[in-house]
Amino acid sequence: MTTPHQSIFDALSAALGSDAVLDPGRVADRATSYWNPAPMQAAALVRPRTTAELSAVLKLCNERGQSVVTHGGLTGCVEGAISDSRDVIVSLERMNAIEEIDSIGRTATVQAGVALQKLQETVREQGLYFPLDLGARGSCTIGGNVATNAGGINVIRYGMMRQRVLGLEAVLADGRIVSSMNRMLKNNAGYDLKHLFIGSEGTLGIVTRVIVQLEEAPSSRNSAMLALDSFAQVTSLLRHVQKSLGGKLCAFEVMWGQYFHTVTAPGFHRAPMGRDHAFYVMLEAEGAQPEADQEGFLATMEQALEQQIAADVVIPGSETERRALWEIRENFQALYEHKPIFLYDVSLPIRDMDAYIREVQQRLKARWPDSICNVIGHIGDGNLHLFVHPGTEGEGLHKLADDDVYLPLQAIGGSISAEHGIGTEKCARLPISRSAIEIELMRTLKRTLDPGGILNRGKVVALQAADAA
């Protein structure tokens, strides 16, 4: 039984049991996020066990106009899950069951709090494959992947989370449960409502259960790291492998030379090849015919050397060696030797990438001569990640760096977010990539589904200027 005069902590404890709710002191024992070790803040953190419990929580919060912030694995890069002492945090950590794997229809039904890696490993035991993959796989959750429309290293072949989701269940701000648990590939019966929630960063509803499309597990995987001396070689290599490997190419990850040099410095990763090339590419292909696939892959690599598209190639001889190569791309702890670091995630046409990065680096150097801008990217998807260290300390540096990274995108029709979303960090910059009508339509959807503006308030599109971060 709850009453309007109870504190939100007491009301939630009365509704769900005290075991399900943490007070501000226990909330502060947690770190804010993967990126931010500062103590987490909230009026209460609630851990529902079922969709019905979450529905009761949101109904209660909505009646009180209580702001709610949803937590998955807290690996998001744009402060989308940030909270303050007035917020109620909803953590999906107890909704972490894989409910069903249908090996004939090749689907999995999972609760939102399941970690991505747990799903990958569980379906692999049944000879199936969930191909969405990213560096945060051990911590990020399926709900978070849906909410951010996560991408990662296999998008070039398997698409983003949006292409993996067949159906989902979500709870609206007022507690109503939208069950859209479709498991069919084709369903054109009216609007496909799941897309409202995919990529909406928890602003339109909280995702509780998801049906995802699986694939047959590949029986061959071939990997290589290549060194290249110009961006023209990078684009030639991309075309060469797309043509030669056909649909088998699943990862084409580019590292700018300075990034590779930094993360392979003594004390960090071992460099498998010379450290002074202009670019490095980690690529991977998957198939169903191990011998023929390996033969074709090796021939493709040899041609790249013969045709002088690549300067050097390293092929891992074991899974351990393969993982060590991937660590160079995925574990960039070395970059954080210099702080602060501002992380960006932009997308733009591949043909404009080289000139764009040069322009950003020139702008940054003109502003801060000691600045460093390291770059990696899923370039086959038109997606670059920039790590900017201004080389100095002080107030307001992040916003100035944002200008240097985002403004050159306008002329080439790029996007300020390829895969991380908007969160609070990029809210004010949304007009760079979206028209006034698009933003107004987003506000209309927000007002319709969450008229009280309780869900992830001030994130993605602020309903009122006062809500903006």
Shortest separation between residue 264's beta carbon and ligand FAD, angstroms? 18
- Cβ 193 to ligand FAD, closest distance in Å? 15
Instruction: Give me the least distance between CB of 192 and ligand FAD, in Å please.
Output: 18
Type of residue at 116? L
Which is nearest to 456 in space by CA: 467, 444, 466, 445? 467
Question: Residue 136 is which amino acid?
Answer: A
**Shortest distance (Å) from residue 409 CB to ligand FAD:** 18
Task: At 159, list the tokens.
Answer: 């698409």
The residue among 390 and 458 lying less far from ligand FAD, judged by its C-beta, is 458
Nearer to ligand FAD, 293 or 419 (CB): 419
CA distances from 225 to 106, 180, 237, 316, 375 (A): 32, 42, 12, 8, 17
Residue 115 vs 238, nearer CB to ligand FAD: 115
In 3D, which of 72, 80, 60, 73 has the Cα closest to residue 8?
A: 60
Cβ atoms of residues 374 and 348 within 8 Å: no
Q: Contact, 224 vs 283, CB < 8 A?
A: yes
Q: Which two tokens stand for residue 40?
A: 């987490």
Between 154 and 233, CB nearer to ligand FAD: 154
What is the smallest separation between the CB atom of 108 and ligand FAD, expressed in angstroms? Answer: 16
Nearest to 171 by CA among 62, 248, 246, 263: 62
Least Å distance, CB 91 to ligand FAD, is 9
For ligand FAD, give the closer residue by CB, 40 or 77: 77
- Are 146 and 113 a contacting pair, CB within 8 Å? no
Minimum separation from the CB atom of position 70 to ligand FAD (A):
4
Comparison of 404 and 419: residue with beta carbon closer to ligand FAD: 419
Nearer to ligand FAD, 75 or 264 (CB): 75
C-beta closer to ligand FAD: residue 161 or 304: 161
Give the nearer residue to ligand FAD in terms of CB position, either 113 or 296. Answer: 113
To ligand FAD, the closest distance from the beta carbon of 445 in angstroms equals: 15
Distance CA 209, CA 193 (A): 14
Residues 6+ apart with CB under 8 A from 158: 131, 132, 164, 215, 250
Q: Which is nearer to ligand FAD, 92 or 386 (CB)?
A: 92
Q: How many CB atoms lie within 10 A of CB 395?
A: 6
Shorter beta-carbon distance to ligand FAD: residue 32 or 294: 32
109 phi and psi, to 5 degrees?
A: -105, 115
Which residues touch 219 (CB under 8 Å, ≥6 apart)? 287, 288, 289, 290
Residue closer to ligand FAD (CB basis): 74 or 353: 74
Those residues whose C-beta lies under 8 Å from the C-beta of residue 394, and which sit 6 or more positions away, are none
Query: Interface with ligand FAD by CB under 6 A: which residues?
Result: 34, 69-77, 80-81, 92, 112, 134-136, 140-141, 143-145, 147-148, 150-152, 201-202, 206-207, 419-420, 423, 456
The least CB distance from residue 317 to ligand FAD, in Å, is 26
